[in-house]
Structures are given as structure tokens and as C-alpha cells.
Amino acid sequence: MIRDFWISINEKYQRNKTVIWFIVMAVTLFIIVTRNMDKMASSTRGSSVNSTTSGSVSNDEKIDEIVSKTEDNYEQIKEQMQDVNITEEDCIKLFVKLCNSGKVDSAYQCLTNECKEELYPTKQDFIDEYYSVIFKTSKNYEITEVKNDTYKVKYTNDVISTGNETSSNSSVIDYITIKNGKVSISNFIGKQSINITSIAPYFTIYIDEKLVYMDHEIYKVRAKNNTRADIYLNDADNSNLYLKDSYNNVYSIDTSSMYDSDYLITSKTEKSVDLTFNINYAENTQITEMSLGTMKIENKEYLDSTSEVVNPQTGNREYEKVKTNYPEQYSWNIKFTE
């Protein structure tokens, strides 16, 4: 009976062996192709990860390489940096790394034009007043964003370069602002145009612009004395000159480095005066008023060209001496907004 079964199987195989072998070959080929595709896919995925891992270079590393391999030439460095997707913090890092590398010319060229104009008109100024003060030795740095575009930078001594562990405890804080890819250092935020003219009975005040720092503002003022008397815009010892903002907050003037003579506008002259106010930087602060407080007017004698008298001693005709008669004090407020 078993023999008959195998004879039947053999007969069926002989009749259909072509179809059977076709199916076997097809299944085998399918299995082989599928396994190879899985291996290729797995290999491709692994290659992509490894490529990303091994080929990924941080901006820090790119900047380090550019600074170390490029001469002290800002234009060359700028060209190399075009391949870096640079952030605001990277602008600070580039500046610090250039200083640490002694590439002072390129570091100076990293400054904004406003920063150069107001603080460091020449490269030597930058070297004497900033670079030589902070970067006597290589510095580590820590960057923290405090406001839009403005960062707190904490410089500490590099123990490896100094060889002195205790020196690492000393630090210097600077606030650096980024504008169009360049840095504004020494707590200087930038300029803001004001362009206000205020005409009073005895004088004219022009407020051209202000210089904004992290902890104070300097108002660039021109005062024109239209009288024959002398006018003091402020009393250095007893000042009541101040700013007021839209919330009625009052900011006093800093007179610590000023003398009465700095506020003196002599008769018929115009003088530029820098007025410094104790106001911390805040983007949403809107100054609405400057109060000149109580100004002092000092009357004095002058020769009146419209009036002549005869000198009894010489008999010559001379201009008559006349003393001005302005009020001794005068107050004036300048509105920034209507």
C-alpha cells in the first residue's frame, strides 16, 4: 500500500515537475532578494547615521579652525565664515577667539561702526582700553542672553594659560550687543536718533541723539543762548534736571564728573553738552520729557550799541554800559512726544 502511494506521488511529480521547480525557484529567488534588500536598507541607515555623526562639525569647531588657520585679515576671515550658519552667540565667540589668538586687527574690525565712533575711534584705542585690559592672558568665557541681541559675557582667566589656579576666580563682566553680525562691546548698546528742537524765551535746546548703555544713557544736547546774560543749564551740586518716562518714572542726572562750568552757556553762544542719566537699559522704556529744572541766569553788563554817551573825562562818545535784567531763575520742560 505504501508502495502504491509513492508510485502515485512519483507519477504526479513527473507530470508537473516543470511547474513545481518553477515555483521552488521563484520562492527561493524571492527569499534571496528580500534578504539582500533588508541588508542594503540596514546598511544604508547605518551609513547615514555614521555619516551624520562623524561628519557633524559644531560651529565652535569651525570658528576655531578658521581663526587658527587664517591670517589676521578680517576680510579673509569674513569670507571663510560665509560657510558657517552663524548665530549671534557665534559672533561673540568669533570676537573672543580672535582676541585670545592675538589677532587684534580682525577683532577690531568685528566692532560695529557706532562702537568704533563712540568708544574706540582707532585700533590703538581698542588695544589700550579694552584688549590690553581684558586679554593680558587667554580668557575663558560664559555667554548668557539678557535681552534681545544683548548678552552678558563673563570673562575668566584660563588656568592652563596662566598656570595659576587662584587667578581663575577673578572675572570681568561685559555686555555685548549684536548688530548686523558685528559686536558692540563695553556695555554700549548703540545710538538712537532723537532730533528734538525746543525753543524757550531765552535759549534754544537741540537734542540730537542719545547713546544707550546697560546702566545709563547719554543725551547729546546743544544749547544756544539767545541772551546777553550767561545761563547755567544745571547746578552740579544741587541738580534738579531729570528725565521722565511714559509711566512717570523719574531718572536723575549723573553729575559726578561735571562742574558748573560744564553747564555754562555764555551770552550769544552755542555749546554742546553731554547729559548722563542713571537709567538701566530696557527696550520698552519710552522717555516723554526732559526737565531742565531751575536754571540760573547770571545778568551782566554789556555795551549797548544803540545808546551812546559822552565820557566826561575824555569827551569821547562811547557806547553806554547796560546791565541785563533777566529773571535769575528759569524752568523749562522739553516734551519728547505730543
Q: Give the phi and the psi of residue 249 in degrees, each rounded to 5.
A: -70, 140
Q: What is the pLDDT of residue 208?
A: 96
Q: What is the pLDDT of residue 257?
A: 87
pLDDT in tens, 285-313: 899 999 998 899 999 998 877 777 767 77
pLDDT in tens, 240-288: 899 999 999 999 999 998 999 999 999 999 999 999 999 999 878 899 9
Q: Over pLDDT 90: what percentage of the chain? A: 59
Q: What is the pLDDT of residue 282?
A: 87
pLDDT at 115 over 80: yes
Q: What is the pLDDT of residue 299?
A: 96
* pTM metric for this prediction: 0.76
Specify the CATH number for 190-335; select among 2.60.40, 2.20.130, 2.60.120, 2.120.10: 2.60.40
CA angle, corner 244, sides to 240 and 249, nearest 5? 105
**CATH assignment, 59-186:** 3.10.450
Task: List the chain domain ranges.
Answer: 59-186, 190-335
Per-residue pLDDT band at 42 (split at 50, 70, 90): very low
**DSSP H helices in 56-165:** 59-69, 74-81, 88-100, 104-109, 113-118, 123-126, 132-134, 159-162
Q: What is the pLDDT of residue 320?
A: 78
Per-residue pLDDT band at 24 (split at 50, 70, 90): low
Separation of CA 272 from chain center: 26
User: Mean pLDDT throughout 108-125?
Assistant: 98
Per-residue pLDDT band at 318 (split at 50, 70, 90): confident
Separation of CA 263 from chain center: 31
How far, CA to CA in Å, does 178 sit from each of 88, 147, 280?
6, 11, 18
Secondary structure (H, E, C), 223-253: EEECCCCEEECCCCCCCCCEEEECCCCEEEE
Strand partners, 177: 150, 184
pLDDT at 314 over 90: no
Q: What is the pLDDT of residue 43?
A: 30
pLDDT in tens, 198-249: 999 999 999 999 999 999 999 999 999 999 999 999 888 878 899 999 999 9
How far, CA to CA in Å, does 152 sit from each of 40, 191, 200, 217?
50, 19, 42, 18
As a dihedral over the C-alpha atoms of residue 301, residue 306, residue 312, residue 313, rounded to 10 degrees, the angle is 70
E strands within the chain?
139-147, 150-157, 171-179, 182-184, 188-199, 203-213, 217-225, 230-232, 242-245, 250-252, 264-265, 270-277, 287-298, 301-310, 317-323, 329-335
Q: What is the pLDDT of residue 198?
A: 96
Q: What is the pLDDT of residue 252?
A: 93
Which 3 state secondary structure label does DSSP give 24?
A: helix
Per-residue pLDDT band at 50 (split at 50, 70, 90): very low
Q: What is the spatial distance between Cα 332 and Cα 207, in angstroms, rounded to a whole number? A: 14
pLDDT at 36 over 60: no
Per-residue pLDDT band at 34 (split at 50, 70, 90): low
Q: What is the pLDDT of residue 7?
A: 57
Strand partners, 184: 177
pLDDT at 181 over 80: yes
Per-residue pLDDT band at 117 (split at 50, 70, 90): very high
pLDDT in tens, 133-166: 999 999 999 999 998 899 999 999 976 555 555 5
